[in-house]
Structure 1
Amino acid sequence: MANNAPLCRDYHLGRCLRGSQCNLSHPANLDPNIPKEIDYHVCNEVGQGCVRCFQAGYPCDKKNRDHNDLRDPCSECRHFGGSGCKCILAQNTTQNDMLYPIMLNRATCEPEYSLPKFKGREEPKSENKIPGPMPANEIKSDWTGASKDELLTKPDILPPQVRRRPRAYLVPPRETVGKRKTRDWHARNLPSNNTASSAMSFASSPASMQHTVTSLVHLSVTRPQGPIISTTIHWPTNQLMTQYFSGHTVISPSMRYASYPMAQAMPPAWIPQSMTRPIAPLPINRGPNTRYAGNSSGQGMSQAHMPRPSVHPRPTMSATTVSAANTRYADRNEPTSDMVDPRPAKRSRTEDTATTTRTKEWVQDIADINDTKETMSEFSASTMWRP
């Protein structure tokens, strides 16, 4: 069953460390440890032939000619290149580098990841074009080289074993000119805040590095307990402000100059917490018997779990007269119209007391909310940025 997973680009290079746990395809024909069937070495030296001969697997004698003269082609291009053939010596690539990408692009061929079969020099190419010689006006008059009959008798320089399992005889190609130029450009245009420049800043100023390390150690010892509440950046000065749960605020040096030794040696500035009393919790967040700053024990008990009574007390029930015929209900503590009770009704007394108590709590809650607003205003004023 064919594996439809994409090709693992690290496998054929011998750099895949996931092994059987890799979800990508590991074709057997791209195994870097595949053994050789014959002792053969693909040419991996630059300046040994032209691009056309490298790709087709033909022997090339361009290295013995003028490398950049299009009018002095190799023997293969002279007799089979056709009109407009540009025979130039490949000075930055090799036959190995040419065949390796061809191998990777033949995943659907049989066998997979193999090189194309050798074609005769006179067999039709793409679009049924039959190879022919270069015109005489494109060749210099004193050109010399192998004849057409001599080339037709030469066999394929790549053995069938190499074309069937090329990975056993090829090595990963060298870096191309485009990739080399890109890498060199990035090396010359490093950003100002990268790791290398920071390391150079430290190395150029050992005293500042020692002071910075000391400041970091001191910072780790004196850091207040508690998690970080918020972290903000003041964009005009590019400074970082960190606020902790305990109320402390840390202002770090400007990140704009973080790569300079002087900025690295600056310890963060500590803003002490406000001397005002802490913010009281809202009434709905306070539990039973909760104490907070500014209140004594027993104050601030939340009644959030109980329904709010009406602020208008109900009128007390008037006393009634009890007849002698209904005195038998007095032992059962049942209210009757014949009993006389000089005290107000029990339910009315309870509601009056509860209403008074809760009204006092509401007044205290409103005072706590006002204190909270004042405290937040003072804290905001003490930590306000002044560029």
Structure 2
Amino acid sequence: MKRLTALWMTGILVCGMALTGCQAGKEAPSAVTTAATEAASAAATETATTAATTASTEATTIATTEAATEATTEAPTEGTSEGATEGASTAATEAIPDDPNIDKDTGIHISEDNVDTTYGKDAVMQIAVIGDSQFGMFNGYDGLAYRVSQYCHANVYNMAIGGTCAALTQNESRDDDNWDSKSGIGMSRLLGGELKPDFLSDPSYAYQLDVYQHLDPSKTDVFIVEYGVNDFNAKVPLDTSFGQDQGSYRGALNSIMMTLTMHFPNAKIIVCTPTYAQFFQGGAYIGDSNTLDNGYGTLYDYVKAGINAVEGNNSGNVKALTPYYDIDINAGNAAENLIDGIHMNPEYRDKYAQLLSRVIIGQMGYSIPEDTDPSTVEWWTTK
């Protein structure tokens, strides 16, 4: 009986949606999984009664037969999300609430696949990313690279590699002929044409190598540089030799900025400093960004070192992103918003992407109000 009632309600909802335009049903995202389709089919078979016929008939009366059929097939069988009734984003509107590939808080299609992060022929800018797992571990629709590509209308080339530092570590070769470092130093030199991509030949880096081979760095408008937590974990010194040592965090950031500025003087550079994090050992909490000291300082000290490096750069094209201050992740809510103490959940990756996108949009000379979702304003018309 519950399913019968749900299907009758769905028929009524289809009618209402048809009045405002059934096109939404045609544009439903590919997030509808095989499991969801089979479940919907089974429910329809079990409840193929007079009520189902009535709902279908009413929908057909108002909409075209094709639109009604598609809407009935793709609509949720147990109600519509609140986001749909309020006219939220397309992803949230058309998401099936019980689909495990849809985040219930944001409506974002979650995928482990390597999705296309290029906006296409209508892109207004090109962005290249080097960094660690905040960008490198999430290459699906909920990943930072994809979200930024949509918010900035940009072709994003994401070369970030999980587990990497900005700095050169002690065991890495500094000889150009035998270069093996995937650090920010190495990736920036690769972009600048100073190194061959041989050090990415291992199959583990096939994705990054493929991105590099499809990228023309000279056409890049914005470089995103995102490192810090691995430098902290690897006990990379904060600063030595007045910021000139590529084996220190600040020295590495200085070197990366210098390399990119030298080869691409007209490009903008966004240096993303670390987010708030918590650390565990054997499952036991051992401290957070503010309390755990690695011998050189806390992760918060690395945040400040990154900001200082940017402030010391006089090119005029470099800006720091400071999510530690600007995204509300802290000791009180970290358990809910960080999936492992370090990496953000889909909701906060989206908040991060919006924050970063606003900075990029501003750096590119466009105007966007503070704290505004870039997808809700036509910022690209402001220049």
The normalised TM-score by structure 1 is 0.18
Tell which has more relative contact order, 1 or 2 (C-alpha 8 A, sep 6+): 2
Of structures 1 and 2, the larger Rg is shown by: 1
Instruction: Please identify which structure carries the higher helix content.
Output: 2
